[in-house]
Amino acid sequence: MLAETIRIPSTSRNHRRVGFVAATTVSIALAAVSCGEPSATSTVSPTDTFFPTPNPTEIFISPTPMPTETLVPTPVPTPSEKPTPKPTETLNPNFEAFTPKTEILSPSGLTAYDLGKADFLRPSPNIIFDSNGDPQIVFSDSDGGLTHVFQVNGKWYKEKISTFTAGYNSITYESGKGVTDNGLVVAANDGWAAEALVLAKYNATSNSWETTILPGIGSSDGLDSSITSHNGKLYISAYSWSEGKATLSTNESGPWKTSALAISGWAETKILINNKGQIHVLYGSRGTGHIYDSSNTSGKFVETAIKVTSQSYSFNGTGGEANLAATMDKNSGVISLFTGDSIYSSKGGWHKEATIIKLSKYERTQTGPDALVEDANGHLHLVFYAIDKKEKTHLFYADNVTGKWRVIDLDNKQGVQKNAEDESNANYWDWTLEGSPASIAMGPDGKAYIVFATRAPQTPDPKVPETPEVRLVIIDPQNLGNK
């Protein structure tokens, strides 16, 4: 099914230099700040690989043309930022209350809430909801640390989790439930210090965040991390730069262990677990054009190569980083996957379900592992960036709530890139795209909550902020309408 908009997104990502990335691999040794004291740090010894690396099986997919629907973005009334009052919760006195500034996005007319200044390299904003129905947001901030922003009873608060530069952040609640800090865990990459996968967990007894460096398989691990929980245990997928492999880390049997799944390219990873406890790790491969699904549904990990018919890459399309965003129906185990232009489904075997945009109209698109979500009614909601032929950046939202895919141009005021192939004159936007610049979650009110990072230029540009900002936009799918 081909969906188009009158204003279509365009996402860009510059080519990554190995030397540059190796030196700046996103960081985050997370340190507690909520109580004003440094967090305790423990180190877990590395362990040997315990998952076998099977031979991949390719699936060649023939796309099925779908009907096309063209939509024009329709201004939506500004949503209320004050939800129904929740049960009383005792808050840490070190939490800082604040009122977000607002900005009207164009051309959608939606209101965006400014949550704070982001890290210049990889802001990696991520959002989930706690058991009270309040949003919990984590991103790498401009001070070289990790910031937690959240809402309680309609009021906004923030705290500093880490004093180290963070990146590739992913969040979950350890038991699947929790409020504010209690039970919240963050996985990220500590690139500046240990080049390692790091876990930050809140200790309610000491009222502080504690950091653990998890075992790795090489000298540079933890890139493109994705975390989830099942039955009180944690599971993290990531990419090892030094070994060129996708990895799985878990405390399922007690001590943390990390295993190499298979050879991969530098690409986003996404871990999903169904209600039976069966694990799927999705990741891309540099140069092959494949997305891989490594799963233990048969009792042992088997890797399947999903050959997508077309795909957008983060930089220059050659040897670049594969785009992917994925979500799962935990009851059926069906996975939906977005590859930068199309939606694929695992139902009945991997196949292409819909084309969201035509890549021929754009220079590049960019998404992130947590940029696709399924609502309670089985509808999909997606956020991604695209850069058009004039190098103008667009932020797009798409869903199939009406039975057909519709694409809404939320914002195209991010400015124009200037000679993006020349780093001496390139703006920062391409680098921002390396850090999974947007994520989406469904709120208890049935609305889609999107956190995204704005672009910031390397060279002065009066049209955009000098420092990237993380913003929240709330979408009511029932009130988008078409004109």
Task: Provide the terminal-to-terminal Cα distance of the chain, rounded to the nearest Å.
Answer: 20
pTM of the shown model:
0.78
Domains belonging to the chain, first-starting first, are: 3-479 (2.120.10.70)
Per-residue pLDDT 10s for the chain (483 aa) are 445 333 333 333 333 333 333 333 333 333 333 333 334 444 444 444 333 444 444 443 444 444 444 444 444 444 444 444 455 567 777 799 999 999 999 999 999 999 999 876 678 899 999 999 999 999 988 887 889 999 998 999 999 997 766 677 899 999 878 899 999 999 887 755 556 888 999 988 888 898 888 888 877 777 778 999 999 999 999 888 788 888 999 999 999 999 998 776 666 789 999 999 999 999 877 556 678 899 999 889 998 888 776 555 443 334 445 678 999 999 999 999 998 889 999 999 999 999 999 888 887 788 888 999 999 999 999 999 888 888 778 899 999 999 999 999 999 875 444 433 433 333 333 444 444 578 999 999 999 999 998 865 545 555 555 677 899 999 999 988 543
Q: Between vectors from CA 258 to CA 252 and to CA 262, what angle results, nearest 5°?
A: 120
CA dihedral 14, 147, 229, 285 (to 10 degrees): 10
User: Prior bond to 107 cis, omega within 30?
Assistant: yes
Rounded distance, CA 305 to CA 126, Å?
27
Strand 302-307 and strand 57-60: pairing?
parallel
**Gyration radius of the chain's alpha carbons:** 20
- Residue 72 is predicted with a pLDDT of 43
State how far the alpha carbon of 282 is from the alpha carbons of 124, 136, 323, 381, in Å: 18, 24, 11, 19
Task: Please identify which residue in the block is written with the tokens 């549904």.
Answer: 297
Rounded distance, CA 79 to CA 177, Å?
26
Residue 335, exposed/middle/buried by CB under 10 A (0-12, 13-18, 19+)? buried
- Residue 362 is predicted with a pLDDT of 84
